[in-house]
Amino acid sequence: MDSQKLSSAHLVQGPRPPGPPSGACRRSRTPGGRRKQDWSCSLIVASLVGAFGSSFLYGYNLSVVNAPTLYIKAFYNETWQRKHGHPVDSDTLTLLWSVTVSIFAIGGLVGTLMVKPIGKFLGRKYTLLVNNGFAISAALLMACSLQAGAFEMLIVGRFIMGVDGGIALSALPMYLSEISPKEIRGSLGQVTAIFICIGVFTGQLLGLPELLGKESTWPYLFGVIAVPALVQLVSLPFLPESPRYLLFEKHDQAGAEKAFQTFLGKEDVSREVEEALAEVRVQRHLRPVSVLELLRTPFVRWQVITVVVTMASYQLCGLNAIWFYTTSIFRKAGIPPEKIPYITLSTGGIEILAAIFSGLVIERLGRRPLLIGGFGLMTLFFGILTVTLTLQDHAPWIPYLSIVCILAIIASFCSGPGGIPFVLTGEFFQQSQRPAAFIIAGNVNWLSNFAVGLLFPFIQKSLDTYCFLVFAAVCFTGAVYLYFVLPETKNRTYVEISQAFAKRNKAYPPEDKIDSSVSDDKTNGTPEQDSSSTLDNYVRNEVV
């Protein structure tokens, strides 16, 4: 090829875009042509540190109260006798213990309601940082309650820890969904569920008698809570804020570009910034909506209903009932009582493996098959478990089949329903709607959690082993609803997901009209407005 042809070829192709910096993660294409997004080091650190100080603590607090139950009740009785001169009666002790367990959910509900004002003022990252103050103060209260001789400190600490969980389960998925590319958004979102499972397993492990599950050391089980909070407190400040928050709320394009470069591990982030700016142009006349306004918005009606159904099914699917029956089923199978706590650890291990499996395959299989398949398999195994528990005295091998069903139910839950509801909440809604959407999801989550804790003892007492049929019906209803309503959201933008819901909503989002007008301008040869000038006008007009 001569020099003239070389010059012509260069003019046709245009200048090469700058490549990724040395040592950064690169994008590649799979043989099928689909773009593959590698994980940058900053993205991995942000997800691990964020989840360790947030969702890990939620899972840990779900299981940590189980091992020291007898010692805590004895502490309540001793404190009551010292203050009132007589032992506490059994009904009052049961009430105190129920309050200790269930007040965690009440605190979670309060924390969920606090997310929107705190998140709007501080941003995603600093909301997580401030939230560590709740965890550390709760850890100090609960760890010092025995030495101070005040069981009220333990109850108040549980409430504060619930506030921490309510904020964490809304702010963390929001942060992860806004810093991740859409190609790995589902896998990154599953980090929340994985660390919940790791937290549950850690609570079970540290509760063993050889570790901290003894009468003299049980307060340290609650003191451990401060460790993940301190790790996040010293690590997260070195990571950027959510680039979308910087662009939409703070109007800081330079900061958003720098955050995109850090999280994506490359210098050229023009495509990502332009996508975000396009969303800015679409929402130039929008402001953050309230919960009531979101509920009244017609073009997100079915998205809200789907979030409510998935979150309610997530809590009402009966996994808490499984923990209630695990010890008795293992005892029926002939396992010595002193070995049961160690066998119970296998359930926590199954949770972690299933959650990791879900994180690895979610971008291949998609959200829809994992959710529907998970609830469907839980329906099947709940039905089998009801039969085996009813007939467990008829043959010596039947209790072992019950154990298999328990492990299968746990694996089915963690492989899909255990984490995907948090991912969907971040994918269904645009930036101005997302805080209100997480408030709705969090309220449904914590209210359902409280309802299970309050109603399950009565359901179990009246139906005995047939109580699992109630949970099978919940799982079946959730699976059927998702089969007919939920579209696949894998690798889709917010606009594409909204269009998938538009026919069912019988209302089209305003993006469709704006997108069509933009395409008409391009067709008519109207030059597109420069992104930076658009953002400058956006800032001057004080949008959002």
Cα 65 from Cα 225, distance rounded (Å): 13
Look at residues 403, 405, 437 and name the one whose alpha carbon lies nearest to residue 423.
437
* Locus of tokens 């804020």: 241
User: What are the distances in angstroms from CA 207 to CA 65, 221, 410?
Assistant: 9, 7, 20
Cα 188 from Cα 533, distance rounded (Å): 33
Would you say how long the chain is, in residues? 544
pLDDT the model gives residue 377: 94
pLDDT the model gives residue 84: 79
DSSP 8-state secondary structure symbol assigned to residue 366 = -
10 Å Cβ neighbour count for 22?
5
By the 8 A CB rule, do 97 and 73 touch? yes
* Locus of tokens 């909440």: 425
Q: Which tokens sit at 343? A: 């066998």
DSSP 8-state secondary structure symbol assigned to residue 241 = P
pLDDT the model gives residue 40: 77
User: What are the distances in angstroms from CA 312 to CA 173, 303, 318, 367, 477?
Assistant: 17, 14, 11, 17, 11
By the 8 A CB rule, do 484 and 348 touch? no
Q: Which tokens sit at 355? A: 């959650």
422-480 pLDDT per residue, tens: 788 878 887 778 788 888 888 898 888 888 777 777 777 788 778 889 899 999 999 99
Look at residues 188, 180, 177, 202 and name the one whose alpha carbon lies nearest to residue 56.
202
pLDDT the model gives residue 174: 82
* Locus of tokens 């020291």: 68
DSSP for 409-428 reads HHHHHHTTTTTHHHHHHHHH
Average pLDDT per block of 10 residues along the chain, 544 residues long: 41 41 42 52 88 91 82 87 82 82 86 84 88 94 88 91 90 83 76 87 87 86 93 90 81 82 79 74 66 84 90 85 68 73 80 84 85 93 89 80 87 85 81 82 85 75 83 93 88 77 72 43 41 38 34
DSSP, collapsed to helix, strand or coil, labels residue 104 as helix
Element holding 44 (H helix, E strand): helix 41-52
DSSP 8-state secondary structure symbol assigned to residue 33 = S
Cα 148 from Cα 220, distance rounded (Å): 14
Q: Which residues of 223-249 are buried (b: 16+ CB within 10 A; e: fewer)?
A: ebbbebbebbbebbeebbbbbbbbbbb
Give the helix ranges, DSSP H, for 144-252: 145-148, 151-179, 185-206, 218-223, 226-235, 243-248
